[in-house]
Every structure is written in C-alpha cells, then in structure tokens.
C-alpha cells in the first residue's frame, strides 16, 4: 500500500473507524470519510486534513484507491455499492487495522472486559517511557490527546475485538487477554466452546519472539494455559501469576498495591482510578512494559498519572456533595466491578442502567438480575435496540427490574425515559450520593444534564 494512495472510510465517526483513519492520515495517506452525523471525532479528523462528508453519496468514493467500512454499514449502502461497481477494494475496519498491526510489532488486547482501559494504560505507559507507540483505542484518552496517534516506533497498541471474530485477523508481537465470558455468542453458533476455541487460536497467533500475556484470575484462561503454544507471561491479584498485586488498598477514587515480579517485590503502585478490576488492568500493562524493558520507577510514575478513557468511571462532576460518574459498563460482570469501585468511595450509590440490545439482554438476563447488589438504589430504563433488531417476547426493562428486585436489590424501579429519570433525580436529596450512569448507549446524558441543572440551582442567589 502506497502512502500516496487515497483511503475512504464509510462510517468514519465511530471510535474504531476514526482511530484507523487518524493513523492513516498521520502516516501520509490521503483520507476521506462519511457519516450520517458529525461529532467530536470527525471534527478532530477535519483538523488533521481529512475530508469529511455528512451523509452518504456515490460521489464520495470517487478517486479512492481503498474503501474501509464498519460493521454497522449495510451492504445496500450507496457508497458500498459504488465501490463494488468501480472495482475499488473493500476492507472491513478490522482488516485494515490488521494490516497496521501485523506490519509492525503489534500489541493487541482482547477480552470480554477491560480492553479499552488496558489498551489505554499500555499506550500511556509506553508514551511516558518515550517509546513513542502508535495506538488505536476504543475511547478518547484525555492523557493521550485522543483515541489514536501514529508514533515513530515499531510498536502499535490496539484493541482486539472478539465480538465479530475479527481478532483472528491479528498476528501480534504481544497478545494480551484480560478475561473470557459468554458474550456475543450469536457470532459463535450460540456455543461458548466456539468462543473459547477462538481465543485459543488468537493467543496461538503470536509472532516468533513475542509473548502471550494472560490473567490467572480468569478460570477459562487458567484452563487454557497448558494448551497454548509459545511463551506466556501471567498476571493476577489472587495469589497466582508472574506479576502479582498484593496488599491492595482502596481510597476515594484511587487504589494502590505492592507489585511482585516473579515473586520479587518491586515497589508500590498507585492508580488514580478506583476498583480492583483496574488493578488487573494495570498488571497487564505492567507486564507489557517490563517485557519491553521499561524500568519500575518509570512504570510507577506513569501509573500514578494515568488518565482513563472517557466513559470508564469518568467523573462528570461533583457538586453539593453529589458525585456524578459515567461508565460504559453494559455486561453484568462490568456492572458488578463498577459498582464495587463506586462502593469504595463510601457514598450512597444510585445506579442508572440502560440495557443494550434485546439479544444481549436475553442471553444474560439472569446474570443482569444478580449484578446490582452493591447499589443503594437502582433505576432501569427502556432497552436500547438498534434499527432492525426484533423485540424478544418476555424481554423488557420492566421485567428486568422485577428480576433485579427478586435476585439482588429490592430498591429498584423501572423508569421509562431519560427525561423522567432526570426529573426524579432533581427532586431527590442527593447529599453524599454517587449518581452512576451505566450502559453502552447515551445514558450518560442523564448525568451531564443533572450536573447542568444542579449548577444552575447552585449559582442562584
């Protein structure tokens, strides 16, 4: 692929697509892209010289040598059709990302949970160590100035998505897996065994001289370890692993631990983000850094100054003794981990959750019901369903609220709309509370609107 070539992106406004587009324009390619709506990511691309079209039209692909599309683009999209008619090579986003990863020393992070945070930590650590990595992350990392950058070193940090099997395109130098759970089974014939086999294949595709890095806190990865080909580094916070966290102490929106490397104490690590799950994420990043020769003192300093990606326990604001936090948690395990982290603040927790997709809610219905024990109050709102998804009989937000009441938390109620949730919160005494919005949707708007309304009230004479 020549740097002079023109690459066009259909659906460029998402985190994954915009990250690849940014890497390519910073690497010297001519880049254009289209999407139905412009957003912060498309504006950033425009500032870098990318031509952005709002909406889709046949003429947008004129002159393109390559066309990249995302999973959300239907085959009947006019730009897809035009590219096929003109014989322009079409690449799925994951295929283009694989080219970037496989051509260099790729460091890819897979797992059901923690991909974005772990990738962010690795990219932040390597940047702090002046290793100048390229990175493509599924979230906007404040400390890195965005979700992507083309560095000058051979290292490329990226998330490896198992949801559509696209992580099997990668042959990385370092292959990280944080954990494995039964999710996205609709793409694995409904069989968890097929998902496990895919992870085993992914971990076995590490290039010569590289390393697989896996968590010993995960049962499935522990059982998979003897089957893996090649060298493996392990980590854990439950008394097992080449890298271990001991003497874990939680603070107010922070956590610290002593680090063991192959049984030898190296020193103490402090993270400015809460939650024991972030200790695990940090151990994975530390294992990468140490393999690449980064000193402990540099790692400790990087971890202490780490700033998480947006929507990963992101503090929206703190006003009148009410802390407002947003998190991307949309799986039962993520919800439990996020609530555990919130509980560590010592505040009363109001958890607001919007389920995404009828299929995910159906497959994980029982697990969702058991996930909210650590909240003092739970609000469930209507399921977000993308266009074209059919409703499943018996699966509804109201029914989920009833199940949560039965299985894990009696202080739960169903509220149909975000406007109703906001009004409820405005009428409630939220002193020494933590209002936590969770979900893969735009439920975060409840938190930002609550902050705006409380700020107006706060400033009134």
Choosing from 42, 82, 108, 116, the catalytic residue is 116
Reply yes or no on whether 366 is catalytic: no
Count of helix runs (H) and strand runs (E) in the chain: 15, 21
| Token pair belonging to 384 | 């977000």
Q: Residue 383's closest CA among 371, 394, 374?
A: 394
Mean pLDDT for the chain?
Answer: 91
Choosing from 105, 115, 276, 405, the catalytic residue is 115
Q: pLDDT tens across 257-289, in order? A: 999 999 999 999 999 888 888 999 999 999 999
pLDDT tier at 461 (50, 70, 90 boundaries)? very low
What does the alpha-carbon distance between residue 358 and residue 191 come to, in Å, rounded to a whole number?
18
CB atoms within 10 A of CB 56: 18
The residue behind tokens 């002079």 is 4
| Token pair belonging to 234 | 């392990």
Reply yes or no on whether 116 is catalytic: yes
Q: pLDDT tens across 316-350, in order? A: 888 888 999 999 898 898 899 899 888 888 899 99
Choosing from 79, 118, 159, 334, the catalytic residue is 159
Annotate 274-314 with DSSP letters as a single string. --HHHHHHHHHHHHHHHHTT--HHHHHHHHHT--PBTTSSE
Reply yes or no on whether 359 is catalytic: no
Q: pLDDT tens across 179-238, in order? A: 998 777 777 788 889 999 999 999 999 999 999 999 999 999 999 999 998 899 999 997
What share of the chain in percent tops pLDDT 90? 66
Tell me the C-alpha to C-alpha distance, in Å, between residue 231 and each of 65, 115, 174, 203, 248: 39, 21, 10, 10, 28
Q: What angle do CA 217, 223, 228 make, to 5 degrees?
A: 105
The helix (H) or strand (E) run that includes residue 117 is: helix 115-128
pTM of the shown model: 0.79
């Amino acid at each position: 692929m020549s740097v002079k070539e023109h690459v066009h992106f259909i659906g460029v406004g998402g985190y994954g697509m915009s990250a690849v587009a940014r890497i390519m324009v910073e690497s010297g390619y001519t880049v254009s892209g289209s999407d139905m709506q412009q957003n912060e990511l498309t504006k950033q691309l425009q500032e870098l010289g990318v031509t952005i079209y709002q909406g889709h039209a046949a003429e947008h692909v004129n002159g393109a040598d390559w066309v990249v599309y995302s999973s959300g683009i239907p085959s009947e999209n006019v730009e897809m059709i035009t590219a096929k008619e003109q014989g322009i090579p079409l690449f799925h986003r994951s295929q283009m990302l694989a080219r970037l990863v496989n051509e260099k020393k790729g460091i890819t992070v897979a797992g059901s949970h923690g991909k974005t945070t772990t990738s962010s930590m690795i990219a932040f650590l390597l940047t702090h160590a002046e290793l100048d990595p390229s990175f493509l992350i599924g979230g906007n990392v404040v400390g890195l100035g965005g979700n992507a950058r083309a560095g000058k070193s051979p290292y490329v940090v990226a998330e490896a998505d198992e949801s559509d099997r696209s992580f099997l395109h990668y042959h990385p130098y370092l292959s990280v897996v944080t954990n494995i759970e039964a999710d996205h089974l609709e793409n694995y014939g409904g069989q968890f065994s097929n998902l496990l086999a895919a992870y085993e294949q992914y971990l076995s595709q590490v290039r010569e001289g590289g390393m697989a890095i896996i968590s010993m806190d995960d049962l499935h990865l522990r059982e998979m370890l003897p089957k893996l080909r090649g060298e493996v580094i392990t980590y854990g916070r439950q008394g097992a692993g080449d890298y271990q966290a001991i003497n874990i102490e939680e603070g107010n929106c922070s956590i610290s631990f002593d680090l063991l490397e192959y049984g030898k104490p190296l020193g103490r690590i402090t993270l400015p983000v809460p939650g024991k799950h972030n200790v695990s994420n940090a151990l994975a990043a530390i294992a990468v850094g140490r393999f690449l020769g980064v000193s402990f003192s540099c790692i400790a300093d990087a971890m202490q100054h780490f700033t998480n990606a947006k929507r990963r326990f992101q503090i929206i604001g703190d006003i009148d003794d009410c802390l407002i936090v947003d998190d991307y948690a949309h799986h039962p395990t993520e919800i439990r981990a996020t609530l555990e982290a919130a509980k560590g603040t010592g505040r009363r927790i109001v958890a607001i959750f919007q389920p995404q997709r009828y299929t995910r809610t159906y497959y994980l219905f029982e697990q969702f019901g058991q996930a909210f024990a650590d909240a003092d109050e739970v609000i469930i709102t209507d399921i977000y369903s993308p266009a074209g998804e059919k409703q499943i009989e018996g699966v509804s937000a109201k029914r989920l609220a009833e199940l949560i009441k039965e299985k894990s938390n009696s202080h739960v109620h169903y509220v149909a709309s975000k406007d109703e949730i906001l009004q409820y919160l405005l009428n409630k005494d939220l002193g020494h509370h933590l209002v936590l919005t969770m979900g893969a949707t735009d439920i975060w708007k409840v938190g930002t609107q609550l902050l705006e309304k409380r700020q107006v009230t706060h400033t009134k004479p």
